[in-house]
């Protein structure tokens, strides 16, 4: 799907696609072969750029062409409750256009300009490019906070759990943090590579950087490293929690087994006493009318005494 946006009157608005239009943002989601050929010819972008851009297994990196730059980063993606992954987001910079390509529906920019730190201007390509990188880091931080809150919820339910369901949920969260760690490391390399490219005079026609652009790029690197540090910290915490909660589950099961064993002992005492008086041999009290009640009283008294003893020892 191809969508074109342009900043008009300080607002990002959707406009019809025109190959001669300058200062626009072309957004491609799961592009078709026809859209790739059409855009490649109109923007004079090599086709292999698009092949790299739609490769789901491609790692974050920078590819420099004659008239364009391809930057591949990874952005977070939620696949459902407790399931987080990353998806590649490719950004192609040409002298007049910014193109983003993704296989999945990912959040490239905030939903609204209102409340955002930046004003998005598609005509300022370099600045707009850095804003996309910055927003990717903010999305990482948002998902990291959601994982932290979800971990606290699972921790509360795990205190009394005797099943592995919560452990599997933590495993999914830890798996997502592992994806985040790999993605953020690659994104840091991309941002630092762009920072080194600013001094290359051959890149100035593609990366026209001003002082405000450098400030945004530095913010990108800072937020990227901050997100990476948080992901690594929470990943270590989750790993420790999984080990601890496995022990908690085993301990809860041991308490249940101990309770059942104690209950079995208490139930077996009346059974044993009544078995003695059910034999065909002569037994005390078999010739009296209250023999049954005497046996019943003896069984209950013995069971109560055993229960109090087990309770005192902390077994029952």
CATH number for position 207: 3.30.460.20
Alpha carbon distance 140, 16 (integer Å): 31
Alpha carbon distance 206, 78 (integer Å): 33
Number of separate domains in the chain = 2
Range of the domain at 280: 252-312
Nearest to 169 by CA among 81, 91, 255: 81
Assign 131 to helix, strand or coil. helix
Q: Which of 251, 280, 295 is the last residue of a domain?
A: 251
Positions of the chain with pLDDT under 70? 19, 111-118, 159-164, 199, 201-206, 246, 249, 252, 276-289, 291, 314-316
Q: Are residues 169 and 294 in the same domain?
A: no
pLDDT on residue 262: 78
pLDDT on residue 52: 80
Task: List, in sequence order, the alpha helices (H) in the chain.
Answer: 33-43, 47-53, 125-158, 165-197, 211-277, 291-312
pLDDT on residue 113: 46
Determine contact, residues 69/93, Cβ cutoff 8 Å. Answer: yes
> What backbone torsions phi and psi does residue 98 show, to the nearest 5 degrees?
-115, 125
Alpha carbon distance 179, 146 (integer Å): 15
Q: Are residues 259 and 274 in the same domain?
A: yes
Q: Are residues 257 and 247 in the same domain?
A: no
Q: Which of 251, 269, 285 is the last residue of a domain?
A: 251
pLDDT on residue 121: 77
**Torsion over CA: 145, 149, 150, 152 (sign):** positive
> Strand 2-8 and strand 11-15: pairing?
antiparallel
Sheet architecture: strand order including 97-102: 11-15, 2-8, 24-29, 97-102, 83-93, 69-80, 61-64
Q: Are residues 127 and 262 in the same domain?
A: no
pLDDT on residue 277: 67
pLDDT on residue 261: 80
Q: Are residues 75 and 30 in the same domain?
A: yes
Q: Are residues 299 and 163 in the same domain?
A: no
Q: Are residues 245 and 265 in the same domain?
A: no
Q: Are residues 247 and 287 in the same domain?
A: no
Q: Are residues 72 and 56 in the same domain?
A: yes
Q: Are residues 215 and 261 in the same domain?
A: no
Determine contact, residues 65/75, Cβ cutoff 8 Å. Answer: no
- List, in order, residues 6 or more apart from 57 with CB less than 8 Å away: none
Q: Which of 207, 236, 251 is the last residue of a domain?
A: 251
Alpha carbon distance 143, 151 (integer Å): 12
> Strand 97-102 and strand 83-93: pairing?
antiparallel
> What backbone torsions phi and psi does residue 212 show, to the nearest 5 degrees?
-70, -30
Q: Tokens 């799907």 identify what position?
A: 1
């Amino acid at each position: 799907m191809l969508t074109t946006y342009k900043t008009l009157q300080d607002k990002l608005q959707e406009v019809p696609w025109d190959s001669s239009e300058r200062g626009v943002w072309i957004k491609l989601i799961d592009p078709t072969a026809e859209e790739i050929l059409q855009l490649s010819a109109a923007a004079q972008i090599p086709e292999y750029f698009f092949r790299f851009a739609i490769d789901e297994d491609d790692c974050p990196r920078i590819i420099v062409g004659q008239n364009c730059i391809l930057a591949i980063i990874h952005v977070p993606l939620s696949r459902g409750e407790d399931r987080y992954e990353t998806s590649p987001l490719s950004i192609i910079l040409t002298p007049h256009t910014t193109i983003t390509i993704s296989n999945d529906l990912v959040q490239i920019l905030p939903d609204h300009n209102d409340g955002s730190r930046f004003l998005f201007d598609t005509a300022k390509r370099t600045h707009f490019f850095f804003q996309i990188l910055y927003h990717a880091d903010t999305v990482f931080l948002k998902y990291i906070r959601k994982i932290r809150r979800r971990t606290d919820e699972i921790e509360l339910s795990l205190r009394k759990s005797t099943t592995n369901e919560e452990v599997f949920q933590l495993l999914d969260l830890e798996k997502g943090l592992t994806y985040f760690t790999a993605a953020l490391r690659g994104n840091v390399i991309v941002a630092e590579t762009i920072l080194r490219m600013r001094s290359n005079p051959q890149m100035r026609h593609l990366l026209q950087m001003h002082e405000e652009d450098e400030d945004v790029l530095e913010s990108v690197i800072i937020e990227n490293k901050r997100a990476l540090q948080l992901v690594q910290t929470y990943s270590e915490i989750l790993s420790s929690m999984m080990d601890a909660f496995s022990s908690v589950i085993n301990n809860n099961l041991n308490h249940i087994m101990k309770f059942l064993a104690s209950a079995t002992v208490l139930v077996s005492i009346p059974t044993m006493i009544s078995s003695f008086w059910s034999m065909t041999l002569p037994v005390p009290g078999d010739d009296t009318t209250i023999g049954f009640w005497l046996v019943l009283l003896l069984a209950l008294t013995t069971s109560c005494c055993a229960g109090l003893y087990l309770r005192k020892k902390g077994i029952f």
